[in-house]
Amino acid sequence: MTGKRGLVIVVTGVPGVGKSTVARGMARRLDGEHLDLSVLAEAWSLITGRDEERDTAIVDLEGMQLRLMRLMGATRKPLIIEGHFAHDVVSPEAASYIFVLRRAPWVLKGELEARGYGVEKVRENVEAELIGVPLVEAVEAYGAERICEIDTTNREPEEVVEAAISIIRGDGVCDRGKLDWMGCAEAGGLWKGG
């Protein structure tokens, strides 16, 4: 797998599902380069403003896509591209594997609150996970047959990395569309008292 030309791995999902940790672990295992899109947007001066309502940066998606295309053409190392907006900047032709990381919304809520996210930001991201927004966005961008969902709930990051690596090696199972948080009893109590 080392040095394989064109290997581009997309790791996406809402904040708090483990994207950064898993992407860094995959980069180590594949002797690749981890690219955190939020960090790159800042480093490459591709922030065009701030969405105050969502408490997030507005990224120049076209500029990001151009920079990534140049980087993809200039390296032989596997690239592990991580970010919730990866589907907007990594073309279907460029992506070798697409992993959508998922986490039970009731667990995710605690994670985001511990990070100090505001009530509305927690609610928006937990609801996006609850109804599968990152999965839908990935399917729309890349097609359902190319998406692999990995549930990170109660799993160590290395377990998630190993699951992804085994799919890349061809001996792991690529699941999609099997997670249904809405059907879980815990989903009904997400917003009690708040």
Question: pLDDT tens, 141-164?
Answer: 999 999 999 999 999 999 999 999
pLDDT digit string, tens, across residues 82-129: 999 999 999 999 999 999 999 999 999 999 999 999 999 999 999 999
Note the pLDDT of residue 117: 92
Q: What residues are paired with 80 via a beta bridge?
A: 9, 34
Q: Cα torsion at 6, 135, 19, 171 (round to 10°)?
A: -60
63 touches 44 (CB < 8 A): yes
The span from the CA of 125 to the CA of 141, in Å, is 20
pLDDT digit string, tens, across residues 158-185: 999 999 999 999 999 999 888 889 888 8
Q: What residues are paired with 59 via a beta bridge?
A: 47
CATH of 8-186, one of 3.30.1360.30, 3.40.50.1820, 3.40.50.300, 3.40.50.150: 3.40.50.300
Note the pLDDT of residue 192: 63
Report in angstroms the alpha-carbon separations of 41 from 11, 36, 66, 85: 16, 9, 12, 11
- In 3D space, the residue among 9, 185, 189 whose CA is nearest the CA of residue 96 turns out to be 9
Query: Any idea which residue has 């403003």 for tokens?
Result: 49
First to last CA, the chain: 48
How much is the average pLDDT of 2-25?
A: 87
pLDDT digit string, tens, across residues 28-80: 999 999 999 999 999 999 999 988 877 788 899 999 999 999 999 888 899 99
- In 3D space, the residue among 84, 132, 99 whose CA is nearest the CA of residue 11 turns out to be 99
pTM: 0.91
Per-residue burial over 8-44, b if 16 or more Cβ lie within 10 Å, else e, is bbbbbbbbbbbbbbbbbbbbebbebebbbbbebbeee
